[in-house]
Every structure is written in structure tokens, then in C-alpha cells.
Copies of this chain bind each other. A is one copy, B any other.
Amino acid sequence: MSTADKAQLRVGMVGYAFMGAAHSQAWRTVNRVFDLPAQVTMVAVAGRDRGKVTEAAERLGWAEAVTDWRELVSRDDIDLIDICTPGDSHETIALAALAAGKHVLCEKPLANNVAEARAMAQAAATARASGVRTMCGFNYRRVPAVALLRRLVEEGRLGDIRHVRATYLQDWITDPQFPLVWRLQKDLAGSGALGDIGAHIVDLTQYVTGQRIAGVSALTETFVKRRPLPSASAGLSASPAGDEAGAQTATGEVTVDDAALFLARLDGGAVATYEATRFATGRKNGLRVEINGSLGSAAFDLERLNELEFYDATVPATRQGFTRILVTEPDHPYLSAWWPPGHIIGYEHSFTHEMRDLIEAVAGGTDPRPSFDDALQVQLVLDAVERSAAAGSAWTTVDPA
């Protein structure tokens, strides 16, 4: 289909930091790689600082920059609002956008707490009746190896799932002098490693197994209780404030978890361990998942995201073993649009695939996944984790959505 004949999907984005840059790369690329029923227009990006948002718009490819996200919501020339801000503003923006009839893509975690997430899911349900679409940005579902793992489970190749083993290991705040950025403040971030990266492994494991976490036993830890106040930060890097002579800087309290660990039972009978931490020295982006079933197993590591390890217990025992599938074949999910086999893709491609699926859903009049309901359920799991940790690791049932 030629571009001129296509429907338009006119996007406004709120926020332009790490996630905003990743989303922009995806919005710019998705129509260049995939043959889609709608053509993206990157209408405007919103941010509070006039200078910075203008610079970001130019660099990231947005036609306009505005300083109030409400302007995006109220404009007629925008169809979809892409929310890339910290979690404390998700609910407000999403509700306003939905009320204005805009489709909404919201970064994960959906909200900073269950109440907000419930309100958003409710608003999404209401909007759905008018054909408005909502999606939460758990982008790792769109890593081809993860999608392949999901497919293997669906085909029954792992049999009954018995074990889930999931970690998300990072190390960017092991230095006690790393400053108190927004991700370390509960009022802005909701939680620490739990919501930031723990949410990813909750969603990913539920997605690939098709099972939901029914109950948990948890503990959380904050290894470094106070940190220097930040001077400036961007993405996951930042510098502490302070004069050049190294004078003592002011410090603030870290109000979120550095690490969250929990055991879980899934509703299909599997038992599981989960761990999310920012103190795993040497692990930069260590999202690793292993699934053991009665007929096979699979393992995934985000630092080698083009690979899936698959163990097929149905082949003769002398030839069994974990097979390193290089997930770059044309018949692998999303891959026919990219490069020849063995030419690997990167982290950012998960967003491009997310946008592809979102565009197809919006254009096709179907509801994309993960829905706000899916994301609310993840929030309920995070909530159960926090309640269990506060109650001496007591077994805690995940509330129904």
C-alpha cells in the first residue's frame, strides 16, 4: 500500500528522556520496516522545559514541541497519546487523553499504585466502548525470542509448566555516591527495583506461561538508605551535586527498595522465584527467565536478546540438550522485516515491534495487548509483594482485578 493511500496515525508524546528517545526511534522506524495499514505522523512532543523540549523535538523527529501535555490532549490533529513520563503522572495524563477520545500508549508500570491503575483500567474500559484503544508498554513481549518462547508454550512444547525462575539484575546504583534521582523516590517512582524492573519480569513470565501469579511471599531491601541529592540526571546516569572541592553535599532518604525478592505460585500450578535488584554488580541488564515444563524447558537472557535456549525432552536422550536458537530467521516473530539470518537486532527494536502491533490493532479495530487490565494485574502483583514484605514475608494472595 502506498503511503498516500494509508490511514494516518497522528501521535503526540509526553516525556522525552530515556523512554521518550526509545519510543521516538520506534515511531520514526516502524513504517520504514513494516508494511502497515496506517502511517505514523510524529506531531508533537510535550515537556515542561521549553528549551529542552524544543531541542528534543528537533533531535528526535517531532514536528512540534509544547510545554503543556494538555495541549496535546486537546488538539484535533492528534490521534494517540504516548505517555513516557515517570509513573506519578500516568493516571492524570491517561484519563485526560481517554476522556478526549485519544488512543493511549502508556509506559510501564501502568501507575504508581493499585488505585491509580484501577482508575486507568476503568477509564480504558469506558473508552473501549467508543473504539478507543489502550496499551501498556511492556516492550519485552516484543523481543522476538520472547515471542518465540510464548509460541513454544502455546504449542505445548514445554508441556505442563512446573518452574519459573526470573531475575532482573542491574547494578547502576551500587555506588553509595550515586545520587537520589527520581527513580529512588517513592512519590515519583512508586517503588524501586520492584516497579521499574520487577514489573517487567512479572509481565513477561505471565505472558509466556499464560499463567498468572496467584500469591507471593516477599522481602525487599534498601542497602543504601541515604544518598546525595542530584544535580542533574538523564536516563539511568546522573551526577551528585556538590562543589568542585568535594565539599559534603546534602543527602536525602532513599524511599524505595533497592532489591525485591519473592516466591510465587502461578494459577496453573507452577512455582516460581523472582528477583529484581539494582545491586547485582556486573549485571547490566540481566533480565533472565527460565521455564521448566514436563516436556521441555526454555531460557532467555536480555543481554543476549537474539537467542533463546530451548530444551526438548522428547528427542532421544543422547541428543538432548539446550539448543541455542539464534532468533533471526525469517519465520521467527517480527524478523521477516529485518536483516538476513544471523544479523542481530537490538534493544530498541522491541519498541518498533510494539508500535507495529499497536498500529495494526488501532487500524484493525482490535484491542492491543498488554491491555490496561493486564497492566493492572501486574500492579496487583507488585502490591501483593509490598504487602507480603511488610508482613514478614507472609503468604499474600494477589487481589482480583
Q: List the interface of chain A (C-beta within 8 A of B).
A: 2-3, 18, 22, 24-25, 28-29, 31-33, 55, 58-61, 148, 162-163, 165, 167, 169-172, 174, 217-219, 221, 223, 235-237, 259, 261-263, 265, 269, 271-273, 275, 277, 279-286, 290, 292-297, 302-306, 310-313, 317-326, 328-332, 339-349, 392-395
Q: Provide the residues of chain B in CB contact with A393, threshold 8 Å.
A: 217, 263, 393-395
- A259 lies within 8 A of B282 (CB): no
Partner of A341 from B28, B59, B285 at Cβ < 8 Å: B285
Q: Provide the residues of chain B in CB contact with A25, threshold 8 Å.
A: 29, 32-33
Closest 6 CB pairs of A and B: A284-B342, A285-B342, A282-B311, A217-B393, A346-B346, A321-B325
Partner of A394 from B24, B60, B392 at Cβ < 8 Å: B392
Bound Cα distance from A330 to B235, whole angstroms: 12
Distance of A211 from chain B, by nearest CB (Å): 14
Partner of A297 from B223, B261, B282 at Cβ < 8 Å: B282
Q: Provide the residues of chain B in CB contact with A59, threshold 8 Å.
A: 31-32
- B273 lies within 8 A of A273 (CB): yes
Bound Cα distance from A278 to B261, whole angstroms: 22
Bound Cα distance from A24 to B31, whole angstroms: 13
Nearest chain B residue, comparing its CB with the CB of A305:
B344
Give the secondary structure class of A's interface: mixed
Distance of A162 from chain B, by nearest CB (Å): 5
- A344 lies within 8 A of B60 (CB): no
- A323 lies within 8 A of B326 (CB): no
Q: Provide the residues of chain B in CB contact with A24, threshold 8 Å.
A: 32
Q: Provide the residues of chain B in CB contact with A223, threshold 8 Å.
A: 162, 269
Bound Cα distance from A297 to B284, whole angstroms: 12
- B284 lies within 8 A of A326 (CB): yes
Q: Provide the residues of chain B in CB contact with A277, threshold 8 Å.
A: 162-163, 292
Bound Cα distance from A91 to B329, whole angstroms: 34
Q: Provide the residues of chain B in CB contact with A319, threshold 8 Å.
A: 310, 312, 323, 325
Nearest chain B residue, comparing its CB with the CB of A221:
B271
Q: Provide the residues of chain B in CB contact with A348, threshold 8 Å.
A: 339, 343, 345
- A320 lies within 8 A of B325 (CB): yes
Question: Of A18, A58, A236, A340, which is in contact with the most chain B CB atoms at under 10 Å from its CB?
Answer: A340
Distance of A161 from chain B, by nearest CB (Å): 10
Q: Provide the residues of chain B in CB contact with A283, threshold 8 Å.
A: 292, 297, 342
- B346 lies within 8 A of A344 (CB): yes
Distance of A351 from chain B, by nearest CB (Å): 11
Distance of A87 from chain B, by nearest CB (Å): 18
Partner of A217 from B174, B263, B339, B341 at Cβ < 8 Å: B263
Nearest chain B residue, comparing its CB with the CB of A290:
B280
Nearest chain B residue, comparing its CB with the CB of A333:
B318
- A172 lies within 8 A of B317 (CB): no
